Chains A and B, each alone.
Chain A
């Protein structure tokens, strides 16, 4: 009892002896202790581990054996990987421009609307709040043949022939992409609206007084001043489309990746290699490729923002 008090008192004396500055440092590191442990253990260690695993041959059961760059060579020679790589880039190069042009067009006009502005914005925004899995079921149902599927029902009521959508090697990828664009559009519209609101009114007023046409205002004032917003959305949605998974997995489950891997993106390939085949080294090598692709996109963003 006395000893404890003694220790506490000397500890207290030690604490009292510190300057205000030193006390702040102790508090700061005290606050950071658990987070540093977390980031070290849950983010940094696994990052290093992913690179290490990518150089091994490992099925989780036996101990991993070092194989150097063999997994990467295998990847380069794997026709499925190139198919997957192609699909992933198709998602990116169709999805990003299409969704951005749509979102900008909507936001540009919605910005001028006062009557029921909030309501119309909410209509576009609601899909962003849905669960991809739940919506995958809705869209799958839409794509079914008659008499179940809505889209085919509409198409055939106009006298056109039914479309196979998810069952076709050419239509499956756009059919999976549509709900991904649909779900993300509201987010982009809201961000564009915020960007448009940030442009000072005086610019527009000056331009109108000078008699500049609407199109010239859009091209000379709105778009240049919107550049940071545009760059942010391009990078944000590029990363989103490069990592597409939920929609694809859920819309093509039963035949994951669609007919002849027509819709399979890189993340689905990673998932299957790791958690269906338990080929951990090979899967880790695929994650390294994904990391490098995403890193390039992020560095490009930094570059573009610095040029501003």
Chain B
């Protein structure tokens, strides 16, 4: 509500600024609009650069979706992002809760140790991870793609901050009722931090859906590619068919856009929570 209280009287300057903001926003959307537009064009029409296709067709979508590879990549991305998200939601909050609500020696040390891993860039770890995956036979497997991301220090930190706001009285009451510690965490504490959990879930899912470098390194067979790696592999094909590539790109974008339109409020709040806490 800041800054707005004195400004809602009509002024031509404001209208101009508003129009500029709208124009800028639409400009931001241009790549997406042209991507969807081209995905609806016949291969003969792609030289026609009008935004509204003269003869819109869904043929490209049929072609891309009937080619089993694409659906496979889509499914891989979905499965991997989902499993990693569930793992993060569970473990990050369990650790965050323990560090926020238990008194024991070494607590601060564990917290610092986990936090310190934020300083280490993934790029430094990919070589040892690759060696590890090779030795354990994890190369080119779902588990190989997933294992480095099953827990994150960022998520743990975020959850710890939120569990600290949960009053101890609630937990004590449950303890008096004879609930064991896991039940207290799972049934009492966790439901109290649902906003933080959804922020964490959205963030983790999104970053795994778009993850690129590690899946690129660890997979070699096309059946195991995630969607971004699959899309990147189009580059080696001799003849670039722009209308099909735009269709693939559109299909990779539609799920996140759909989720955003459904959960817009939570996503924006989640980004702010995660951004400002991180």
Contacts and interface: CB of A to CB of B under 8 A. Distances in A.
Most chain A CB neighbours (cut-off 10 Å) among B123, B185, B210: B123
Contacts of A198: 2
Contact of B95 (A35, A150, A197, A267): A35
Given A25-B105, A283-B127, 9 more contacts: A27-B182, A39-B113, A49-B128, A130-B253, A142-B31, A148-B46, A190-B271, A246-B212, A295-B119
Contacts of A197: 1-2
Most chain B CB neighbours (cut-off 10 Å) among A35, A49, A182, A196: A35
Nearest to B6: A208
Interface of A: 21, 23-25, 27-29, 31-32, 34-36, 38-39, 42-47, 49-50, 53, 60, 106, 109-116, 118, 120-127, 129-135, 137-139, 141-142, 147-148, 150, 153, 179, 182, 185-187, 190-191, 194, 196-201, 204-205, 208, 229, 232, 236, 243, 245-246, 249-250, 253-254, 267, 270-271, 274-275, 280, 283-284, 287-288, 290-291, 294-295, 298
Interface residues of B, number: 97
B249 A138 contact: yes
Nearest to B261: A122
Interface string B205-242: 01001101100110000000001110110111000001
Nearest to A47: B120
A288 B124 contact: yes
Interface of B: 1-8, 14, 17-18, 20-22, 24-26, 28-29, 31-32, 34-35, 38, 46-47, 49, 91, 94-95, 97-98, 102-105, 107, 110, 113-114, 117, 119-121, 123-132, 134, 147-148, 150-151, 153, 156, 181-182, 185, 206, 209-210, 212-213, 216-217, 227-229, 231-232, 234-236, 242, 245-246, 248-250, 252-253, 256-257, 260, 264, 268, 271-272, 275-276, 278
A253 B235 contact: yes
Contacts of A129: 206, 253, 256-257, 260
Contacts of A284: 124, 127
Contacts of B8: 114
Contacts of A27: 102, 181-182
B47 A133 contact: no
